[in-house]
Amino acid sequence: MNQAKHIAIIMDGNGRWAEKQGKKRFIGHEAGSEVVREITTFCSKDPEIDRLTLYAFSTENWKRPKLEVEFLMKLLATYLKKELPTYLKLGVRFEMIGDATRFSPSLQKQIAALEEETKNCTNLVQHLALNYGSRNEILRAVNSLKDSKMITEESLSNALDCKHDVDLLIRSGGDHRLSNYMLWQAAYAELFFTDTLWPDFSSEELKQIIDSYKNIERKFGGIK
């Protein structure tokens, strides 16, 4: 039976969830941040899950309206400050993946501080993908290895922001695409797409997906 040791999620649908209710898009983002806590809590209590990687802000999200981007940056800063007690209580180690250099110095400092505060937590690693794009990640990794005599799969994998293969990749919100997310790490991941908008996603639905994943025959290109 398969174990979903590394789960990656594309958290899609916050804005549409709010618009369906006649509300501003930022209300959807706030509701979505509450679901992050629920899902992180669930995963931290499952001994089979080692890593949870959440797509929070992509390299393409800077193209959104200025006011929405500014709100997302404020929401992120609030989240990082508010969630420290939760991380420590649950034993969750926080790690950012992505390029932090575009963020404000104060936000970069917050990210680094949370990583430092939680570095000894062992129940779960939560990777938050911020200013993340898989092509950007791979390009940065290749550039860091440009002086190597030969780049191998192992050396490239070790140079990535996230060095761990994804077992199960989930996208909420109804779209069926990867959107430049974990392209290297998800090479053999099982993909699940749900029409549920992220603010309506729940630990119960995640459990159902994990149960389905456990019964899939994974061949990794071979024959069983």
Residues labelled catalytic: 12, 61
SS3 track for the chain = CCCCCEEEEECCCHHHHHHHCCCCHHHHHHHHHHHHHHHHHHHHCCCCCCEEEEEEEECCHHHCCHHHHHHHHHHHHHHHHHCHHHHHHHCEEEEEECCHHHCCHHHHHHHHHHHHHCCCCCCEEEEEEEEECHHHHHHHHHHHCCCCCCCCHHHHHHHCCCCCCCCEEEECCCCCCCCCCCCCCCCCCEEEECCCCHHHCCHHHHHHHHHHHHCCCCCCCCCC
